[in-house]
């Protein structure tokens, strides 16, 4: 084999590697849209429930901050760092992979927080998954599901009401086919 044909093979192999790498990473974000306004709305509904209010069918907060419907907890502050580095990547990944869960290919809630530089294990995650709903309607529906967990002390309800958490990251992702995800990540220590 000549050195010229060896160079040709190396160039072709390199080009193939680049094309294959692009083919395996492109779907992660292809057709996925982030809904920042809906994320802020979702945190308002989380804090409605957290402070003792109720989320109505139309998506309004009834008696938020009063402790009327459940014990009042301090509202969570939004962490942009958690939203951008923990919640959004997971929302995007799960909506593209069509997975509704907390673990995928070895990635766990703890490992996602650690990868983003958060040291405390005082963290949690709640995920809501929707089919072809619009993002706002999916958020309302999911919040009402989590609210219904009060009756039996479900895990989403317990996280929403946990006094251990101080801040939250929120992300809403929608795929071009209408599939949506809501990810709320809770964290204990205050973040500067």
Give the pLDDT score at 132.
77
Helical packing angle, 36-50 and 135-148, nearest 10°: 20
**Residue 187: which region, alpha, beta or left (left: phi > 0; alpha: psi -120 to 50)?**
beta
Q: What is the mean pLDDT of each run of 10 residues along the chain (192 residues)?
A: 42 31 38 92 98 98 98 97 97 92 91 94 94 90 98 97 96 91 92 62
Give the pLDDT score at 177.
84
Query: What does each C-alpha distance from 132 to 100, 189, 190 come to in angstroms?
Result: 14, 36, 36
Give the pLDDT score at 92.
95
Give the pLDDT score at 30.
58
Give the pLDDT score at 27.
41
Give the pLDDT score at 77.
96
The answer to whether the pTM exceeds 0.85 is no
Give the pLDDT score at 29.
52
């Amino acid at each position: 084999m000549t050195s010229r044909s060896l160079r040709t093979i190396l160039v072709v192999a390199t080009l193939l590697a680049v094309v294959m790498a692009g083919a395996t990473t492109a779907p992660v974000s292809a057709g996925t849209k982030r809904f920042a306004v809906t994320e802020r709305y979702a945190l308002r509904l989380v804090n409605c429930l957290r402070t003792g209010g109720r989320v109505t069918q139309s998506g309004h907060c009834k008696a938020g901050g009063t402790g009327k419907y459940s014990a009042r907890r301090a509202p969570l502050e939004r962490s942009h760092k958690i939203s951008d580095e923990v919640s959004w990547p997971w929302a995007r990944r799960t909506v593209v992979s069509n997975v509704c869960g907390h673990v995928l290919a070895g990635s766990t809630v703890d490992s996602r927080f650690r990868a983003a530089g958060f040291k405390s294990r005082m963290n949690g995650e709640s995920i809501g998954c929707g089919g072809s709903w619009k993002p706002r309607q999916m958020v309302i529906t999911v919040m009402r599901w989590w609210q219904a967990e009060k009756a039996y002390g479900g895990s989403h309800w317990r996280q929403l009401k946990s006094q251990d958490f101080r801040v939250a990251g929120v992300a809403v992702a929608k795929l071009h086919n209408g599939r949506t995800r809501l990810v709320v990540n809770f964290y204990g220590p205050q973040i500067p």
